[in-house]
Amino acid sequence: MRITYQDTKQGIMDLVPETLDDLWHISYIIEEGDVVSSKTTRRIQDTTGDKLRSDRGIKKTFFIEIKVESVSFHMFTGKLRATGAIVSGPEDLIPLSSHHTLEIKLNVSVKIKKEHWSRYILNRVKQAVEASKKLSAIIVSIEDDVADFGLVRQFGIEYYGPIIGNISGKRIIDKNRQKNIDEFYQKIVDSLNKFNDIQNIIIVGPGFTKNSFYDFLEDKYPNLSKIAILETAGTGGRVGIHEVLKRGVVEKLTAENRITKEIYALEEILEEISKTSKLVVYGKEKTINAANAGAIKKLLVLDKLVRIEKLEKVMDLVENMNGKVMVISSEHDGGKQLESLGGLAALLRYPLK
């Protein structure tokens, strides 16, 4: 996600979402009462004289500004919508004060105006922007003895390579063939190790070369094989990289990584509960009391409650006491388990009386 404009005095920020994760973040950045504007498309019926045209009208794209009443994000379709009364727009096309649903789209700027940007919301923006600087994944596209890298960043794809091996054809008798294959694979690994904080490696290409390289990682570099997956592509090179990108593999992996971290955090809570430990609390009342006592080491909050229950002050309090706050998505099983605990739970530094 990118910040393209910010006016702290006016409480205005322009954001450009670049991934599905960014849309997910924005669904919690936008709150009821915010004024949001972006491009929208609406079907406008033309009139010819006094007679209404019989067709469904013409689609027109323009900027519109609404005062938000509700926000919805559907993880599986990637649709983020904000609904509210129209504050400003082309009056010849739409009546003011009528309701409109604004669909917030990837790579399209959205302006958000708030009366107050809470610390929690600003941290959320910062988290999304920092994530954009990291590599979401490296795509290794292999065909025969040529490998290309696609470095997946939130601003786009950065290409690296090609890396070329010296491998003879299968029909040619060459006693050094396996040695040359291993040297080729080692060159790929050496290149991978140049990049820090790799979250995922996606190995793609036609045939069995990609499988052979994955086996090489499992045998010699298990730390890399643990973050690697195999994907079939019709060809190697940049074309193979584009093929995988079009299938949405990277977005799916990014979401899965976040979910894995959230589920692990909840499992820590459940483990302490199963031990009847005094270092865990759950439920709204007990968790808020623990926050007020400065006893929380890690706080888990169900995403749906942040907006409804106005828990920003509690979250700020925990962070001010050097505690960690995690907002857990309600879209997966871990979130549903947290909901059954009252939507709030925490690991404590010390037992409370």
| Band (171; pLDDT cuts 50, 70, 90) | low
The domain made up of 2-44+64-131 has a fold known as SH3 type barrels. (2.30.30)
- pLDDT(316) > 90: no
Higher-scoring residue by pLDDT: 219, 309: 219
Per-residue tokens: 190: 């050496």
Instruction: Tell me which long-range contacts 134-137 makes (C-beta under 8 A, separation of at least 24).
Output: 134/197, 134/199, 135/195, 135/197, 135/198, 135/199, 136/19, 136/199, 136/200, 136/250, 136/253, 136/254, 137/198, 137/199, 137/200, 137/201, 137/202, 137/250, 137/253, 137/254
Q: Per CATH, the architecture of 137-247 is what?
A: 2-Layer Sandwich (3.30)
In this predicted structure, the answer to whether residue 55 has a pLDDT above a threshold of 70 is: no
The structure tokens listed for 37 are 């504007």
In single-letter form, the type of residue at position 274 comes to S
pLDDT value at position 45?
A: 65
Percent of the chain with pLDDT over 90: 48
* Predicted local confidence at residue 127, as pLDDT: 81
> What's the CA gap between 230 and 200, in Å, rounded?
11
pLDDT confidence of residue 164? 92
- pLDDT for the residue 270: 94
The pair of three-digit structure tokens given for residue 340, joined into one six-digit string: 């059954």
CATH class (in words) of the domain with range 253-348: alpha beta
User: What pLDDT score does 247 carry?
Assistant: 85
Position 112 scores a pLDDT of: 97
Domain with CATH 2.30.30.870 in the chain: 2-44+64-131
Q: What's the rounded mean pLDDT across residues 30-52?
A: 75
The predicted pLDDT at position 156 comes to: 63
Name the average pLDDT for the chain.
86
Confidence band of 36 (pLDDT split at 50, 70, 90): very high
Query: What are the angstrom distances between the C-alpha of 269 and each of 60, 170, 272, 338, 341?
Result: 51, 55, 5, 9, 10
CB 93 within 8 A of CB 42: yes
Convert the pLDDT of each residue in 328-348 to its tens digit: 888 788 889 999 999 999 999
More confident residue, 185 or 309: 185
Provide the pLDDT for residue 154: 56
Alpha carbon dihedral 267, 270, 272, 275, in 10-degree steps, equals: -130
Locate CATH 3.30.1330.30 in the chain. 253-348
What confidence score (pLDDT) does residue 159 get?
Answer: 87
Query: What does the pLDDT average to over 190-215?
Result: 90
pLDDT value of residue 339: 94
Query: pLDDT confidence of 88, banded at 50, 70, 90?
Result: confident
Would you say how long the chain is, in residues?
353
Q: Once rounded to an integer, what is the mean pLDDT over residues 236-244?
A: 91
Stated pTM of the model:
0.61
Confidence (pLDDT) at 96 = 77
Coil vs helix vs strand at 54 = coil
pLDDT band at 249 (very low <50, low <70, confident <90, very high): confident
Assign 324 a pLDDT band (cuts: 50, 70, 90): very high
Q: Ranked by mean pLDDT, which of 20-34, 157-171, 202-216, 324-338 comes out on top?
A: 202-216
Residues of the chain with CATH 3.30.420.60: 137-247
pLDDT of residue 173: 59
Q: Per-residue confidence at 33, pLDDT binned at 50, 70, 90?
A: very high
